[in-house]
Structure 1
């Protein structure tokens, strides 16, 4: 049998779906959440909008009606809002996109301002009869230092429009400013932002091997008190399905992509290991089987969340007035990882130069290496068994700076784990691959400030689970007949902040989707599909009374139910304006020992 699993996926991604008619089913009667239309084939997600503070807002348009037909960048200009002052409680990026009906791939989209990334995600694929539109929001209050001055920016959304690929993508974006007031005080935003981009006004950098890095040499202010790096690492090209790959030596036997499945972001300062970030297995809306993601895409597919690496223990090193190389690499990269980052720093306004030291770094010298347990066997023309990949590391980084408010010591302890088990059954009539993957982070940060030594402890736990199965059946000539697929994907974060034993803040976020579909083929071409269904469930809560629950279900490409209030008191959603219910990084409410 000459056909391979990788070849099947490449064929599916090559645009076999634009001519397949989208089926419809009668709308299911249900108590529908506001803003949803049961029976619609348009995009429907359970994700919460960004909560807004009280008061009148000001809106600044970044661009309106951009059309993306090629791979040229689309520049725009920005000026601070008029009539909203320079003190804001929150700033929200809003963007709207649409694509005309027809054939088109999913495309990566990113927005940039002053070289810094303010949005990163992908687009929804259209069909021959459905032209989807979608809305994304992001809290960009951390960029307040950039937003106080006129800037230039650009939208990057490469697309091909020709006789074959006909979908035209359009977009608009704006920033919404909420002036600080008595009920919504000024956000505790970083004092400066340093982008890690391609250096041309904004753009990601492609890492094609595990040795490649995105490196930028920065000379920072000499009074950095806290520092955080937000990291994005998105697999593209040969790395789009990285979670389904096996070691090179087993690729032929498993009829799968090589390079292995272990991926992890490494952050370094001047070559010294400084932090680690897990890689989220984002699945694009054309991935595996596009019908699975219509009308509800995978977790975060349209709006990626970065992972925030705490570099505060290295503040004393960064404060020496010398240039330092800050670098991002991806262990296991084997094709193309699209990478970018933003370094956020908080400064001591009472002292121009801070001294201190890095007191511990057990991450330095730890190799990012996975173990492989190969249980594949071949007998009588049948390949079966599993390949298990495991990696785990625990480390401590610690340091202090002497500030105008006394010595601040930061001690970060983390355990990062990765496991991926792939099962295979391959014979002349079937190809079945199953994936059971989980990346986790357990992080505890203790911050001690001042002569009395009050200690604030923050703890965070992240889970990135992925369960997937891809099946192919073949006729006696080796042609694909059916291709059933199923995916269960999630993102969860549990966070707490304590002063001694007193819990100051606790929050939980859980976002998951379960979806499946079966493609039908005739003579190598997709002729239909059956059994499409999906359910997305989003839950968010905290100890201050915030609660959000939404459930969205689809069948055969249309929305069947969308209900609010799941697991919330009285079945009602309630989100306090300063919370981050999507699970995005939230420095102002988490790490600063001097505020709640």
Structure 2
């Protein structure tokens, strides 16, 4: 019976995430914490920095306003703003949402003109209801937003006698005029990164995976909003085990996952997916009611610089660009991988020619070692070591000279998964590293991404379920030119939480307690940001800023 309880909790409660909460005062918040969770708690918040906005004239447009009760998408029409021109310094998307009653976390998306501009998830509500908001810089989609477009938004939901929460959202876009003091635009081909000028074209990849780029494309970047979701074990892929091991979630070779992009059947990009924990995750929604895990609010796309393939793609014919997730069992669903292709064009050329000069894909490592429990009271163990390396290089002949782009990416994953008979204990300690270097004519941008997860769930004889977990999301970017460092930035988001409740009791009798803490830091040549939030039993007890 114990095993069935844990499998049900993990398989059902892990469903989606939360959104960015409205920011409270910067001063320390220390109200008395309740002795346990009640019927209401603080609205969802994160320690992430707000979007910086220009001090210029702005115009707002409502893109979607809907209530989600089922799996029927909202559809509408988008019209560009009037009175703010069509060349903007910044475009900011804002979602405001509210929900109350009983509901699982739900995954959602927003598409404008077929382009996925936002992917998100929702909080699990209190009986009294929660409100939240999230903002995202969507300036890179300016080309799409300059024209009348269709709108489609969906947050798939189930409402019935048990799950009563109707998700009510409003999405707006605010356009800021480009000011005189905003500085020069970034160079056009600086390598992968948010510092690039907005692309000239944004091409959504359709179901046929066919891509036809403009013949004068000089830089091409694919972005993939990859999420393991939609029910089943791929929502928590990092816990899956090979068929030989006695665990409730199987996946052929185990938990190693890799998101690959292929161009005409040839691997063109590799990346480690981020191990998002949705707001029902790890069998314990009390961990995430106020502070969600990293990225659950705003799901970032994975970026792949495909510029080495520009000489191939610029022939005016359609090419097959396909995305796959390595490690997912055949015929098993659970991953969503919508793709946008961002294109920067050489306005002085009708046709940019070039060639792929190097393609070096190393062997994919995916090794697991299963150690069975030595006794009925012991623990099973699965050790995983995975990784991959890819280097591609190519050049294009542009109106401003020959441009050579080399992309090197190296992935590594190690994890130790321990569990008891019946899964009354379930523990994972894992690290994912994704090192990418994009070199363009001697200017190199190296980005080191590190994701960490260290969690343990136990179910005691008294049916008290306890979860302790730490999550990390860190990225360091270093720019060099001619071997000399010219820039550095670090982003570090860390979450720590612990929560306990009576697993088999009705919601109002769970006697749940929990604490959580998030510290989000940014530092480097661009300045410093440092904010810490902490909660107890759903009350926000700390809001501290440094720097």
- TM-score higher than 0.5: yes
Give the distance between the partners of 1:10 and 1:305, measured in 2 at CA: 24
Gaps of 5+ in 1: 16-30, 199-214, 449-454, 476-480, 569-596
SS at match of 1:190: coil
Give the distance between the partners of 2:242 and 2:392, measured in 1 at CA: 32
Which residue, 333, 343, 346 being the options, matches 1:345? 343
Higher relative contact order (CA 8 A, sep 6+): 2
Alignment of 1:108-119 (within 5 A): 108-119=107-118
SS at match of 2:125: coil
Give the distance between the partners of 1:315 and 1:522, measured in 2 at CA: 57
Which residue matches 1:376? 372
Question: Residue 258 of structure 2 contacts residue 270 of structure 2 at CA under 8 Å; is this kept in 1?
Answer: yes
Question: Residue 95 of structure 2 contacts residue 135 of structure 2 at CA under 8 Å; is this kept in 1?
Answer: yes
Give the distance between the partners of 1:528 and 1:217, measured in 2 at CA: 52
1:216 aligns with 2:209: yes
How many residue pairs match? The answer is 513
1:548 aligns with 2:546: no
Which residue matches 1:485? 467
Flag the 1:257–1:289 CA change in 2: closer, same or farther, 3 A.
Answer: farther
Give the distance between the partners of 2:83 and 2:315, measured in 1 at CA: 39
Which residue matches 1:98? 98
Which residue matches 1:193? 202
Alignment of 1:281-296 (within 5 A): 281-287=275-281, 288-296=283-291
1:121 aligns with 2:108: no
* Residues 24-77 of structure 1, C-alpha deviations (whole Å, 9 max, x = no match): xxxxxxx9516989675211211111111221211122123x111111110121
Give the distance between the partners of 1:182 and 1:374, measured in 2 at CA: 62
Give the distance between the partners of 1:412 and 1:242, measured in 2 at CA: 28
Give the distance between the partners of 1:34 and 1:525, measured in 2 at CA: 33
SS at match of 1:248: coil
* Residues 551-596 of structure 1, C-alpha deviations (whole Å, 9 max, x = no match): 000001121111122xx2xxxxxxxxxxxxxxxxxxxxxxxxxxxx
Question: Residue 467 of structure 2 contacts residue 500 of structure 2 at CA under 8 Å; is this kept in 1?
Answer: yes
| Cα drift, residue 173 of structure 1 | 0.9
Question: Residue 92 of structure 1 contacts residue 141 of structure 1 at CA under 8 Å; is this kept in 2?
Answer: yes
SS at match of 1:143: helix
SS at match of 1:182: coil
Which residue matches 1:263? 257
Give the distance between the partners of 1:34 and 1:76, measured in 2 at CA: 41
| Cα drift, residue 137 of structure 1 | 1.0
Which residue matches 2:502? 520
1:276 aligns with 2:270: yes
Which residue matches 2:78? 78
Flag the 1:36–1:140 CA change in 2: closer, same or farther, 3 A.
Answer: farther
| Cα drift, residue 261 of structure 1 | 1.0
Question: Residue 294 of structure 1 contacts residue 558 of structure 1 at CA under 8 Å; is this kept in 2?
Answer: no
* Residues 85-129 of structure 1, C-alpha deviations (whole Å, 9 max, x = no match): 1211111111111112x1111111111101011110100011223
Once the two structures are overlaid, the 10-residue window that deviates more, 504-513 or 178-187, is 178-187
SS at match of 2:42: coil
Which residue, 434, 444, 451 being the options, matches 1:464? 451
Give the distance between the partners of 1:266 and 1:513, measured in 2 at CA: 28
Question: Residue 15 of structure 2 contacts residue 235 of structure 2 at CA under 8 Å; is this kept in 1?
Answer: no
| Cα drift, residue 505 of structure 1 | 2.5
Flag the 1:531–1:124 CA change in 2: closer, same or farther, 3 A.
Answer: same
Which residue matches 1:20? none
Alignment of 1:320-399 (within 5 A): 320-334=315-329, 335-363=333-361, 366=362, 368-379=364-375, 381-399=376-394
Gaps of 5+ in 2: 17-23, 34-40, 186-196
| Cα drift, residue 80 of structure 1 | 1.5
Which residue matches 1:44? 45
Flag the 1:255–1:218 CA change in 2: closer, same or farther, 3 A.
Answer: closer
Question: Residue 286 of structure 2 contacts residue 512 of structure 2 at CA under 8 Å; is this kept in 1?
Answer: no
| Cα drift, residue 189 of structure 1 | 0.9
Give the distance between the partners of 1:464 and 1:472, measured in 2 at CA: 27
Flag the 1:77–1:34 CA change in 2: closer, same or farther, 3 A.
Answer: farther
SS at match of 2:485: strand
| Cα drift, residue 457 of structure 1 | 1.1
Give the distance between the partners of 1:80 and 1:154, measured in 2 at CA: 16
Give the distance between the partners of 1:389 and 1:94, measured in 2 at CA: 40
Flag the 1:162–1:7 CA change in 2: closer, same or farther, 3 A.
Answer: closer
Give the distance between the partners of 1:494 and 1:13, measured in 2 at CA: 30
Which residue matches 2:490? 508
Which residue matches 1:442? 435
Give the distance between the partners of 2:172 and 2:125, measured in 1 at CA: 24
Question: Residue 67 of structure 1 contacts residue 171 of structure 1 at CA under 8 Å; is this kept in 2?
Answer: yes
Which residue matches 1:204? none
Which residue matches 1:208? none
Which residue matches 2:218? 225
Question: Residue 359 of structure 1 contacts residue 400 of structure 1 at CA under 8 Å; is this kept in 2?
Answer: yes
| Cα drift, residue 395 of structure 1 | 2.3
Question: Residue 88 of structure 1 contacts residue 186 of structure 1 at CA under 8 Å; is this kept in 2?
Answer: no
Give the distance between the partners of 1:291 and 1:2, measured in 2 at CA: 21
SS at match of 1:106: coil
| Cα drift, residue 337 of structure 1 | 0.7
Give the distance between the partners of 1:176 and 1:35, measured in 2 at CA: 31
Give the distance between the partners of 1:48 and 1:109, measured in 2 at CA: 22
| Cα drift, residue 394 of structure 1 | 2.1
Which residue matches 1:167? 165
| Cα drift, residue 484 of structure 1 | 0.8
* Residues 12-33 of structure 1, C-alpha deviations (whole Å, 9 max, x = no match): 5699xxxxxxxxxxxxxxx951
Which residue matches 2:62? 61
Flag the 1:362–1:48 CA change in 2: closer, same or farther, 3 A.
Answer: same
Question: Residue 521 of structure 2 contacts residue 529 of structure 2 at CA under 8 Å; is this kept in 1?
Answer: yes
Question: Residue 444 of structure 1 contacts residue 458 of structure 1 at CA under 8 Å; is this kept in 2?
Answer: yes
* Residues 365-420 of structure 1, C-alpha deviations (whole Å, 9 max, x = no match): x55441012222333x2342421111122221000000000100011122111122
